[in-house]
A and B are shown apart, each in its own frame.
Chain A
Amino acid sequence: MSEDESFDLVGCLARVRERDQAAAKALVDHLYPLVIRIIRAHLPRRVAEEDLAQDIFLKMFTRLEQYQGAVPFPHWVSRIAVTTCIDQLRAQKRRPEFRWADLSENEADVLDAVLTNENDVEAGDALAARELVHKLLDQLKPDDRMVVQLLDLEQKPIAEISGITGWSQSLVKVRAFRARRKLQKLFKELERKERP
């Protein structure tokens, strides 16, 4: 969401409901940073972020009459964005196999450091670490991936994840447990294969 605190969200929504196109445009501009952050965090492979953002906003306008104000509007939009990303991830049925050979030099160094514990991951390798994390997350089921992303990478509390996804808190915990177990299994396989 933009940092513009003076934005009159309630008034803008009222005008959008009266089919004011300028208000709709202002609403999209206001919410774009929020939506694009969610998309970038959960972007499925081979999907253009702008196309996904457009889908999310069109869903938002289509369902606007269903919004009753029970939760803040940005939370409601976040939920649409998250579920749209999950749907996109589900649509990509095949997950590529995770192989050392597919990693860049930096990513392989980071993975090596994590697996062997000989060196700490250097601050300069943060970007490679992030890419590596996303490649590992690609190995998980979409729902599990979403939970780990929100919980471990974005450090959101379980209650908030439950609110964003619409899943119960126990389901969020189960999915997190399942995902971390799968990641541990993956690390063990990578250790066994060793860096070429």
Chain B
Amino acid sequence: MNSPDQKWPRLVSAARRAEDVRDETAPYGFSTRVAALAFARERTGVSLLERFAWRALCVAGLLAVLSTAANYSLFSSAVGEDDTLTDDNTVSALLDFSS
């Protein structure tokens, strides 16, 4: 009976004698396909980013315009009230040096 430690080395040593005669050159068209895929993939990443960035900017602008229009009356009245700060406003009370 073989020593258990020697079985694997013997088998591996026999396996190493097997020559691999398979061709190691790239199959026809492989490098062209891979190079094209690599650059196409990069381009897709960039164009997706560009497209989503522009779309996001348009949506954000539209929302800003809509919200301004919807609340226009509130804004205009608030601007009108700015000049008539009352005494119960803490900030105006603190800044009122005349009294």
Instruction: Give the residues in chain B near A26, CB-CB below 8 Å.
Output: 31
A153 and B15 contacting across the interface, CB-CB below 8 Å:
yes
- Stretch touching chain A among B16-24, B60-68, B79-87, B91-99: B16-24
Interface of chain A: mostly helix, strand, loop or mixed: helix
Task: Report whether B30 and A28 are in contact in the complex, using a CB–CB cutoff of 8 Å.
Answer: yes
| Chain A 27-70: CB-based contact to B (< 8 A → 1; otherwise 0) | 01100110011001000000000100110011001100000000
A180 to B11 Cα, complex, angstroms: 13
Q: Which residue of B lies closest to A28 (CB)?
A: B31
- CB neighbours (8 Å) of A32 from chain B are 24-26, 30-31
User: Closest approach, in angstroms, between the C-beta of B53 and any C-beta of chain A?
Assistant: 21
Chain B residue contacts of A130, Cβ below 8 A? 15, 18
Find the residue from B4, B25, B27 having the highest chain A CB count within 10 A: B4
Closest to A29 in B: B31
A-B contact pairs, 27 of them (CB 8 A): A21-B35, A21-B39, A24-B38, A25-B31, A26-B31, A28-B31, A29-B26, A32-B24, A32-B30, A36-B26, A40-B20, A40-B22, A50-B27, A62-B38, A110-B11, A114-B14, A115-B2, A116-B2, A123-B17, A125-B14, A126-B17, A129-B14, A133-B15, A152-B8, A153-B16, A184-B7, A187-B8
